[in-house]
Structure 1
């Protein structure tokens, strides 16, 4: 489409009719076509291009963009215009059509939000820094999550995705830090302890208590973190926040006193209920979500009580006894509380056994700190060690879900790695689209390894010799200032230079250098259903031969199988991790490799790229062993799968990974150059020669 000459109204309408499938949907394109035809050629071409891309996701989304796009272009900057459309498609992927349409309909609100984004701070961009900031504060570890309101449930801090009250991004980032500090202070200084008996049926009291408590926490923050308190004061000045109302000033001194606790604030709130109007400061709109707090605290208190008592029982077994004949029941735990303003809880409780201090393991220390944060003390009944069977085991360990159990029921993303996937029609990623799980292969202890080792007995000997020679290879370095022999080429050039009047170089020698190998390689094995039979046998034999040969070479290697059925069931099968030694267990896992579902490849490349990037090595290889092109049950089939796999390989190369593919697909020459490049793949014509070819290719790749 020309960007210099705009399309006429009939041409625009014809193009929209084609893109929006008017023949089947009976949509009226007259009004959007008229608006688009009135645009200058560049804006017209851009908008029609976007309609095409979005209609590839859902035709109704494309139609709504056609209807709203001309006016939206006038309101929204070009970069933000793209962000608006991408936001709609991401919402479609995550929540469906209706929420995505709502984003399109609310383009005016989006334009206003984009103005706020120019001066605001995004939680997504600062989450890492804020998480490190929270780690530096005392108390239990805290997580961050996005929510429309600001509150904490005592384990997670919920913050809005964007803060934009202040004029600059830097000021709004500091606003995030101050808000995090105030939420942390609620936990650190016991704001929720006196509220456990309360219910949401006392909203007026809770509102007044919360307003008073925030004044107490500000005073605590001023003493504990004076730098952050100064930032809070600057925020107030910037927002021109009015002074504390006159009727509140008389309570500022008692609320700010060092000895004032949350229980004192609650008593004062009861006394003043009906007399004082809560004073909400604009600088930190922190709310009190009592239902979330109670649910989280009650569950945690029950677990931590059980875990603490069981931990004390374990200590009884581990700590030496003064009298070997002394029984458990004759030994008593006690506590020695001390006020300690440097502790997260404001209190240090030392645990004693028979009046002597007990050295607590780190895990028990963390339990003690968390209990003190919730209760302000270690209750006496916590000091009675738990006997066998006294508690439900579910309380003692965090529950993990087996991957196969997840798949049997309704789909859950809990515990899965989430990866983006490239949509070539959108020219944009589908965010967190693939749910990826690592699964164990059930080892099969049969005669497979013995049969294979016997079958390839001579070849294995040859491979070991070849690989051992690679390990001891030396490399000849030329043009060295020091060495063992003369570099004839360098000498001839130096004499020529001298004849012409130039100064001779002193780099005239050669030196042999030991070739130090620093390689990490992952073998990514296709476990799709199409590998059933001969191909599966050849893959397993190839892996077994490689392991036998690599053990003599000393390279670090890992093996994963991969398969998938739609984006919701993307599976990697752990066969060998880098740190695992080659053993009978590894051979049994190789024997247990069985065909699964489809060949969805992008997620596997992205996940194993991440694994390789966490491995220290000079050279990192990702070698794929496959029998065909990317494929899956859903839209991944065809060009979509090829383009996503290609994009994943580009990401791997940018991350310093060298991908290579070994395939037995005779048609692979049609698509592998597009995926891997002309020199990064090999086609093995005879599946029976695969074991020999794989070892030979690896030797050539790593020389």
Structure 2
């Protein structure tokens, strides 16, 4: 027997409990529905009230119209969009979303056959990471274009009846806009070229057509599978190819080896004609946005490159940059070497006095970005920065680091991560801004003292880990082997006695199993680790490194700290590519207490780091002294629940998380976050270095 609907008074009481005043007509309208619908609608308003009573008021007074136009699920989605905007722009921004009621309802109908960007944005981001060149972000816009740092795509696609076709259309857009960046569409200053013509918009339309023909040939050559999808979608849309053109045989003048400059030269032959219509996925050209981004990037990367060269020369010459002569600052050269993966067929190698030199960390990608913009490393880039310029750049970078994400969500060099809000039971999208901050390498005295202090233990650890590396594992139920597997034999005999065929798998054999393990150690650098705790963490890392170098497991070490969601920072102590050398030892010695522990964002970031690591077993180990806590309300149940969900995401990706803590109250919350068998509490901080390696051995055996 179903329950009767809520009465007017009962609905009014629910609104009073939320501290939300609504018009009586809204309450009267809600009395017309069954109790399940009433409750579902009131729960939606309660979710809004948990964010802001003002937002709940605005939503409640639009409910009547919303119910007429949308299903419950769509109303909930509409509120989620408003909450997302509220988080970044406040109540007025959220009200603007609520005012788009008609548009949201229409959008929901489109979703029946279309595919929203938000549903596939993660897949597209992973897809674009696999493409060559500068890392590109992906965001939504009404136009389809790139500014050379971000690809902008529609919020929803429903041009085809099948969702998969719309998804493939998104991929084709990504590839075409990536191709503009990778194959040099923007190496010229297009605005400067267009200014020479009376009708720049018409000329730009023709340049786009010529570039589309050229890039189509490039994509066909480099990514034939994607190109076949493009051809299929063209046919599905009623086109025979990417564009229809037969102007003075111009199409034949463009080949796989043509450049953007070649297309500029061809403009004079076609600008008197009307440009053909292009296929939808080719997007448009936004030269103003590109010029702005490119100008800033070129200046910054030139300074950074000259600074890196100065650093190399300082190391080679064993002198400060200020002491180098003008001639010495020009001694590094860039030589072309063949590379079929590059659009030009070559890349650059740095040389000093005729010998190849290894560029510092990050300089390879910096060189790649410069070449992507200019097609070469210009001579004036190869002049090492003088002492004054070197210091200015360093000071500028330091200022940027201490000011990260001030007032913008698109600062260069940061990662955006979502965060779980248990009160709303949903993610806050792009909520946390994380930066990777270089950790300078200091003196190795601390490491040397630690090795001396624990010399006996280190010898035992190396001996133990050598045995572990060479251990044979007994395999049971084998078809042949060294000995009889008694358990398997008894089981097989029982099967035969019951009329079943006797299994041949009744042997055991010893097998040397190769370890294929990758581990990331997350080291808490919050302010509470000051003193003994920081010393114990660093000593533990030294012992781990000494032991793991013997064992051969791949490992990385990162420090983490933060101060509010806009300033989350990781400090690479040792990446998977780094060796355990004096630089790494110096970085371990330089680990120092900083701010707070917003744990969820760091776990999510290292989940992404693991995506690029191929290993049979991937383990994420946290060294911490307390529960997740940050300055802006990230504490208590909120922080614990966000961390718990981030760890669930780890497990869904096949990553095994484990926590080692010295917080004696840790058992109260670690079981919730990590589960019963995935953490350990060490009561005495002085015991941490003695136990941490043994713990590692146990969880990886």
Q: Same fold (TM over 0.5)?
A: yes
Indicate the larger mover: 46-55 or 490-499.
Answer: 490-499
Partner in structure 2 of residue 107 of structure 1: 101
Instruction: For 1:36 and 1:498, locate their aligned partners in 2 and report how far apart those are by CA, in whole Å.
Output: 70
Instruction: For 1:150 and 1:111, locate their aligned partners in 2 and report how far apart those are by CA, in whole Å.
Output: 23
1:467 and 2:462 correspond: no
Question: What is the correspondence of 1:334-349 to structure 2 with a 5 Å cutoff?
Answer: none
Partner in structure 1 of residue 80 of structure 2: 86
Deviation at 1:212, TM superposition (A): 6.9
Partner in structure 1 of residue 67 of structure 2: 73
Indicate the larger mover: 173-182 or 141-150.
Answer: 173-182
1:118 is paired with a residue of what secondary structure?
coil
2:515 is paired with a residue of what secondary structure?
coil
Instruction: For 1:390 and 1:584, locate their aligned partners in 2 and report how far apart those are by CA, in whole Å.
Output: 26
Deviation at 1:515, TM superposition (A): 3.8
Partner in structure 2 of residue 510 of structure 1: 508
Indicate the larger mover: 503-512 or 489-498.
Answer: 489-498
Indicate the larger mover: 613-622 or 145-154.
Answer: 145-154
Partner in structure 2 of residue 330 of structure 1: none
1:659 is paired with a residue of what secondary structure?
strand
Equivalent position to 2:41, from 47, 61, 64:
47
* Superposed CA offset, 1:653-699 (max 9, x none): 11111111111212112111111111111111222222222222222
Question: What is the correspondence of 1:517-536 to structure 2 with a 5 Å cutoff?
Answer: 517-536=515-534
Partner in structure 2 of residue 688 of structure 1: 686
Instruction: For 1:172 and 1:681, locate their aligned partners in 2 and report how far apart those are by CA, in whole Å.
Output: 44
Deviation at 1:585, TM superposition (A): 2.9
1:196 is paired with a residue of what secondary structure?
helix
Change (3 A) 1:674 1:404: farther
The answer (yes or no) to whether the contact 1:119–1:169 under 8 Å persists in 2 is yes
Partner in structure 2 of residue 421 of structure 1: 419
Instruction: For 2:185 and 2:412, locate their aligned partners in 1 and report how far apart those are by CA, in whole Å.
Output: 32
* Superposed CA offset, 1:612-642 (max 9, x none): 3322222221121111111111121111000
Deviation at 1:297, TM superposition (A): 7.7
Partner in structure 1 of residue 53 of structure 2: 59
* Superposed CA offset, 1:247-288 (max 9, x none): xxxx9856978679767867986x89xxx9x99999799766
Instruction: For 2:91 and 2:398, locate their aligned partners in 1 and report how far apart those are by CA, in whole Å.
Output: 29
Partner in structure 2 of residue 406 of structure 1: 401
The answer (yes or no) to whether the contact 2:115–2:167 under 8 Å persists in 1 is yes
Instruction: For 2:367 and 2:615, locate their aligned partners in 1 and report how far apart those are by CA, in whole Å.
Output: 37
The answer (yes or no) to whether the contact 1:474–1:515 under 8 Å persists in 2 is yes
1:11 and 2:10 correspond: yes
1:690 is paired with a residue of what secondary structure?
helix
The answer (yes or no) to whether the contact 1:39–1:70 under 8 Å persists in 2 is no
The answer (yes or no) to whether the contact 2:194–2:203 under 8 Å persists in 1 is no
Partner in structure 2 of residue 572 of structure 1: 570
Change (3 A) 1:366 1:499: closer
Change (3 A) 1:86 1:394: farther
Question: What is the correspondence of 1:537-556 to structure 2 with a 5 Å cutoff?
Answer: 537-556=535-554
Deviation at 1:517, TM superposition (A): 2.0
Instruction: For 1:390 and 1:554, locate their aligned partners in 2 and report how far apart those are by CA, in whole Å.
Output: 39
Deviation at 1:428, TM superposition (A): 0.6
2:650 is paired with a residue of what secondary structure?
helix
Change (3 A) 1:208 1:466: closer
The number of residue pairs the alignment matches comes to 620
Partner in structure 2 of residue 591 of structure 1: 589
TM normalised by structure 2 equals 0.73
The answer (yes or no) to whether the contact 1:542–1:691 under 8 Å persists in 2 is yes
The answer (yes or no) to whether the contact 1:566–1:634 under 8 Å persists in 2 is yes
The answer (yes or no) to whether the contact 1:215–1:256 under 8 Å persists in 2 is no
Instruction: For 2:499 and 2:542, locate their aligned partners in 1 and report how far apart those are by CA, in whole Å.
Output: 62
The answer (yes or no) to whether the contact 2:431–2:565 under 8 Å persists in 1 is yes
1:161 and 2:160 correspond: no
Partner in structure 2 of residue 434 of structure 1: 432
Change (3 A) 1:414 1:103: same
* Superposed CA offset, 1:212-245 (max 9, x none): 777878998999989868965864689xxxxx9x
Largest Rg, 1 or 2: 1
1:632 is paired with a residue of what secondary structure?
coil
Instruction: For 2:428 and 2:81, locate their aligned partners in 1 and report how far apart those are by CA, in whole Å.
Output: 10
Indicate the larger mover: 405-414 or 213-222.
Answer: 213-222
Indicate the larger mover: 659-668 or 279-288.
Answer: 279-288
Partner in structure 1 of residue 192 of structure 2: 196
Change (3 A) 1:297 1:425: closer
Deviation at 1:421, TM superposition (A): 0.5
2:559 is paired with a residue of what secondary structure?
strand
Question: What is the correspondence of 1:204-603 to structure 2 with a 5 Å cutoff?
Answer: 205-207=199-201, 209=203, 235=237, 289=286, 291-292=288-289, 402=397, 405-408=400-403, 411=406, 413-445=411-443, 447-494=445-492, 503-603=501-601
1:671 is paired with a residue of what secondary structure?
helix
Partner in structure 2 of residue 651 of structure 1: 649
Instruction: For 1:660 and 1:383, locate their aligned partners in 2 and report how far apart those are by CA, in whole Å.
Output: 46
* Superposed CA offset, 1:351-379 (max 9, x none): xxxxxxxxxx999999999779xxxxxxx
Gaps of 5+ in 2: 221-226, 255-262, 305-341, 346-363
* Superposed CA offset, 1:584-620 (max 9, x none): 3333322222111112110111112222332222222
TM normalised by structure 1 equals 0.72
2:550 is paired with a residue of what secondary structure?
helix
Instruction: For 1:513 and 1:690, locate their aligned partners in 2 and report how far apart those are by CA, in whole Å.
Output: 34
The answer (yes or no) to whether the contact 2:138–2:152 under 8 Å persists in 1 is yes
* Superposed CA offset, 1:27-70 (max 9, x none): 45644433334332112111221222222222221222222234
The answer (yes or no) to whether the contact 1:122–1:163 under 8 Å persists in 2 is yes
Indicate the larger mover: 282-291 or 62-71.
Answer: 282-291
The answer (yes or no) to whether the contact 1:140–1:370 under 8 Å persists in 2 is no
The answer (yes or no) to whether the contact 2:247–2:270 under 8 Å persists in 1 is no
The answer (yes or no) to whether the contact 1:120–1:168 under 8 Å persists in 2 is yes
Change (3 A) 1:259 1:94: same
